[in-house]
Amino acid sequence: MIANISGRLIHKTTESVVIDVGGVGYELFIPLSTFYTLPELNEPATLKVYTHVREDAIQLFGFLTQEERDVFGLLISVSGVGPKLARNILSGIAVGDLVSAIGTADNKKLSSIPGIGGKSAERLILELRDKIKTIVLKSVPEQKEAPGEADPLAVDVASALENLGYKTAQAEEAVKKAKAALGDGPSFEAFLKEALKHLSKR
């Protein structure tokens, strides 16, 4: 099974990317959270990979972080949730917020995700509430809350930036500037994109 791909990004859309590895182009389906952090075309790119095997096809799904990949694997283990819906779920909510919502049985928050209704939210909670704790244990203990940024979204964005290789101080500064520029209520994707814009100006 392919677990990780590093190569040259030669094509990208909001649905998928193609990474050239030694002359072979691998297509990976991605969530929006990964799309907004991709480098420019022909630049080096590395993604965590979930290999989904079906009777008639082998599909590769690419993710920025190991947490996203692990949560994707848990989502498709739920009855009625296939790879496409799992990817859409990760596109509609930050992985940290999703883990928190399932862990705290927040049916209302889960039901607000596009493609997830009340019954689906209940199923996610029922089947994943205990399993999701393994993701929390891996992602939360090392997470530092930036001063003055107690909201979970800001913490998630700072964590994503650190996963991209930026130092904690750089991530915190970019998050602060992005928050000031966007005001209240931005989506994870918009927040992350704005933070990356500030980092690119350094």
SS3 109: helix
The pLDDT value recorded for residue 5 is 94
> If DSSP codes are grouped into helix, strand and coil, which group holds residue 191?
helix
According to DSSP, residue 33 is labeled H
Per DSSP, what are the bridge partners of residue 8?
A: 20, 44
Residue 60 amino acid letter: L
All structural domains of the chain, each given as residue ranges with its CATH number in brackets, are 4-63 (2.40.50.140), 67-138 (1.10.150.20), 142-200 (1.10.8)
Give me the sign of the Cα torsion angle 125, 193, 42, 66: negative
Beta bridge partner(s), residue 9: 19
What pLDDT digit, counting tens, does each position of 95-149 carry? 888 888 898 889 888 988 878 888 889 999 999 988 887 775 454 434 344 344 4
- The rounded distance, in Å, linking the Cα atoms of 5 and 20 is 9
- Write down the pLDDT at residue 178: 87
**What would the two tokens of residue 192 be?**
């992350």
Q: What is the mean pLDDT of residues 186-195?
A: 83
Q: pTM for this one? A: 0.65
Q: Tell me the two tokens of residue 27.
A: 């297509």
Assigned token pair, 46: 């590395």
Find out whether 75 and 81 touch, Cβ atoms under 8 Å. yes
161-186: pLDDT as tens digits? 776 667 778 888 888 888 888 887 78
Mind giving me the DSSP string for 54-83? -SS-EEEEEESSHHHHHHHHHHTTSTT--H
